[in-house]
Structure 1
Amino acid sequence: MSRTQVVIIGAGPAGLLLSHLLAADGVESVVLETRSRRYVEARVRAGILESSTVGLLDSVGLGERLHREGHEHRGIYLQWPEERHHLDFVDLGESSIWLYGQTEVTRDLGRAREAAGQQISYEISDTALHDVGTDRPYVTWTGGDGRPERLDADVVVGCDGSFGPSRGTVPAGSQQTWERTYPYAWLGILADVAPSTDELIYAWHPDGFAMHSMRSESVSRLYLQVPPGTDLATWSDDRIWDALAVRLGHGQEGWELTPGPITDRSVLPMRSFVATPMRYGRLFLAGDAAHIVPPTGAKGLNLAVADVALLAPAVSALLRGDPRPAEAYSDTALRRVWRCTHFSWWMTTMLHSTGDPFDDQLQLSQLRRVCGSEHAAAELAANYSGLPIGL
């Protein structure tokens, strides 16, 4: 048996950032991860960082490569057939956003924690949390060598996503959940081709939503609305590019979509989920372990960062004898969670076709309102570019 101050379950960006913030405050932690480091750092996930996320990474010495290799954008395009409008967040009084893939954030954090000597155990199994309702929690698991392990701690933090063991450890009667499953999914691709746009395009189309994003000057990230349960085998490269061309308006006002080799493809279900409270005894939840949003509003990674930005000082205070920030953590975090959940729902329902002509007209009316009213555009800009962490 061994002991540490904080056990962090999950070595994604939330878990690694939390360990980084705790270490800066003199708090010892151990990070446990089911997957391999290579797998964690290769997962294709979100790529849009809010200004508050970038500011936090800068403040703790993790922003150098982001500023060197990332791309700062002033806004987004909203589009529907025959019309495309640019929303300039900076002109609307808000902040710019940065395109920098979650894979890159995870790599930066992994290298920083490795350089600092952070203890991280990858490729473990059978992870289980015990006595989290007491002040003496502990975690057990099976190591990569097949040996059983136990680690006692003062605090356990679940940053292990929606399928990890942390959230399920909370007794059913001690937590309430809310969920919305959407009747569509995204088919996402990575392609080795220069982006055909300077900033993100969000396109409403009667055939279904489409989005043009990017990862670098030579790699594009694009999405298509598809039915849930779509079989990737039914979508050839040509079919994907043809659908993207139609929905993104190839040829509209001279704009052209340039296809290229597809290197990765996946189908992403769309749902919203919130579990409250985000704490049970000495177990705290952060990121996808507590809440999930559809990716339309670009909030998932940024919400996880906001969670751990609140949680790190709260845990540090708790370990020094002041429980008040830890007691306030869940309520404070959830104010931002619900605001971002609403924004993500709003963007999703505004842009995804249901096949109902009545819904089509409502969506087009909302899009025209956003693009034709400075007040409506500013509200979208404020939510998209990022609200304060401690909302």
Structure 2
Amino acid sequence: MRTSVGIIGGGPAGLLLARLLHRTGIDCVVLESRTRAYVEERQRAGMLEQGTVDALRACGAGDRLNAEGLVHRGIELRFDGERHHIDFPGLTGGRTVTIYAQTEIVKDLVSLQLDGGPTLLFEAQALAVDGVEGGEPVVRFLHEGRERTLSCAYVVGCDGSHGIASAALPAGASRAYAHEYPYSWLGILADVPPSCEELIYARGEGGFALHSMRSPSVSRLYLQVPNGTDPADWPDERVWDELAARFAVDGDWRLERGPVTAKSVTPMRSLVREPMRHGRLFLAGDAAHIVPPTGAKGLNLAVSDVRVLAQGFAELHRSGSSRLLDRYSEVALTRVWQATRFSYDMTKMLHAQPDSDAFEARMQLARLRRITASRTAAAELAAHYTGLPLAL
């Protein structure tokens, strides 16, 4: 097989890039190692920045998003028994965020891809990427029981932090900056309407808790737990009791409970690879960076990466200039590091820190009180949460 851009990974980053390239007249092929059913049911993020929503609408993937997405005008911070609302539109000039599950984004993009879009191969496992320092890279992959090759002008790795694309970088071609957090998230999906119209970020005595949702009838909730926690050690009633304790506030508010349909533990880490390009190989999304979910940045960073790449390929296709494509890593990393910093700060401010002292706990409260008492501090949080403008 031969194409202009070979895309490894059929998650939201790879699928959106393929859609953007297709609309510009650039041919591409997407290789996804998993089945279509697996990809469309894989539970991941659900909070979309304003720019992500705009990009999905612009590429023709906005119909169900517009009909089913839940627009949020802020978040609620809870600590010391108090509730504080952060008004996104009032602090950012009108920007909002939208709840729309990654599974639904993938379904929308797969449908568009298969309806006259570029080639999308499921169960196509990339084995190696060769020749990225030359003029025509080749992706070797396994599909339908035999090894095949895909020759490309460029390769984009959207296959996650453990994928073949990042592993294809020669020794010394990039550096990984990583940080492991001393706690994890226990997450549940529950068939119960959300207890609040907006997300709640709570700093409780027992640690952090997050109230989120997937739809008007499905709630998504998280608890800070020690690393190595076994979900089996947290029966449903214990989860609900601990969530209620961490969300507790003065006044009349109750956490609604319902049947738990899924339960999992997610470790927390940050990772950034520099640079995000080597030769004709580009990294995007989790292949290039990982952030803790506290700041809701993972999916949104992946979208901003491929938006930059798509514009770079479009400029090359239109005028023959590689100016923007050559600046991809520089442009993307500026945004990546700011999102990494924001996610790190949110995580440190809201989570109980193992082995910390009373001074550190008071510093966390001081940071929270600055946000709730200062319009400047609240506006900075709102600007980062709703997404910084894409600067090219």
TM-score (norm 1): 0.97
Deviates more, 1:84-93 or 1:339-348: 84-93
- Aligned residues with identical type, % of pairs: 54
Alignment RMSD: 1.2
Q: Distance in 1 between matches of 2:335 and 2:8?
A: 23
The residue that corresponds to 1:236 in the other structure is: 235
The residue that corresponds to 2:110 in the other structure is: 110
Residues 9 and 158, structure 1, Cα contact 8 Å, conserved in 2 = yes
Residues 135 and 281, structure 1, Cα contact 8 Å, conserved in 2 = no
Residues 206 and 360, structure 1, Cα contact 8 Å, conserved in 2 = no
Residues 22 and 117, structure 2, Cα contact 8 Å, conserved in 1 = no
Q: Distance in 1 between matches of 2:46 and 2:316?
A: 33
Deviation string for 1:313-337 (max 9, x for gaps)?
2123335631211111110011000
The residue that corresponds to 1:313 in the other structure is: 311
Residues 76 and 199, structure 2, Cα contact 8 Å, conserved in 1 = yes
Q: Distance in 2 between matches of 1:317 and 1:261?
A: 51
How far 1:245 moved relative to its partner? 0.6
The residue that corresponds to 1:361 in the other structure is: 362
Residues 310 and 390, structure 1, Cα contact 8 Å, conserved in 2 = no
The residue that corresponds to 1:162 in the other structure is: 161
Letter in 1 for 2:61: L
SS in 2 for 1:91: helix
Residues 128 and 139, structure 1, Cα contact 8 Å, conserved in 2 = yes
Deviation string for 1:24-45 (max 9, x for gaps)?
1101111001111111111111
SS in 2 for 1:387: coil
The residue that corresponds to 1:203 in the other structure is: 202
SS in 2 for 1:382: helix
The residue that corresponds to 1:346 in the other structure is: 345
Letter in 2 for 1:84: R
Residues 73 and 89, structure 2, Cα contact 8 Å, conserved in 1 = yes
SS in 1 for 2:251: helix
How far 1:228 moved relative to its partner? 1.1
Q: Distance in 2 between matches of 1:44 and 1:24?
A: 28
Residues 50 and 98, structure 2, Cα contact 8 Å, conserved in 1 = yes
The residue that corresponds to 2:300 in the other structure is: 302
Letter in 2 for 1:316: A
The residue that corresponds to 2:287 in the other structure is: 289
Residues 200 and 212, structure 1, Cα contact 8 Å, conserved in 2 = yes
Q: Distance in 2 between matches of 1:372 and 1:331?
A: 35
The residue that corresponds to 1:382 in the other structure is: 383
TM-score (norm 2): 0.97
How far 1:199 moved relative to its partner? 0.3
Deviation string for 1:33-82 (max 9, x for gaps)?
11111111111111111111111111122112111001101000000131
Consecutive unaligned residues in structure 1, runs of 5 or more:
none
The residue that corresponds to 2:192 in the other structure is: 193
Residues 333 and 390, structure 1, Cα contact 8 Å, conserved in 2 = no
Residues 7 and 158, structure 2, Cα contact 8 Å, conserved in 1 = yes
Deviation string for 1:108-153 (max 9, x for gaps)?
111111112431111133521111111110111111x211111111
Match of 1:277 among 248, 267, 275: 275
SS in 2 for 1:254: coil
Letter in 2 for 1:119: T
SS in 2 for 1:154: strand
Letter in 1 for 2:118: Q
SS in 2 for 1:20: helix
Deviates more, 1:272-281 or 1:108-117: 108-117
Letter in 2 for 1:224: L
How far 1:163 moved relative to its partner? 1.2
SS in 2 for 1:171: coil
The residue that corresponds to 2:124 in the other structure is: 124
Write out aligned runs for 1:57-136 (5 A): 57-94=56-93, 95-125=95-125, 127-136=127-136
Residues 8 and 126, structure 2, Cα contact 8 Å, conserved in 1 = no
Residues 33 and 124, structure 1, Cα contact 8 Å, conserved in 2 = yes
Deviation string for 1:177-214 (max 9, x for gaps)?
11111101101111000000010000001211000000
How far 1:263 moved relative to its partner? 0.7
Q: Distance in 2 between matches of 1:80 and 1:42?
A: 35
SS in 2 for 1:90: helix
How far 1:358 moved relative to its partner? 2.0
Q: Distance in 1 between matches of 2:226 and 2:371?
A: 27
Q: Distance in 2 between matches of 1:225 and 1:14?
A: 28
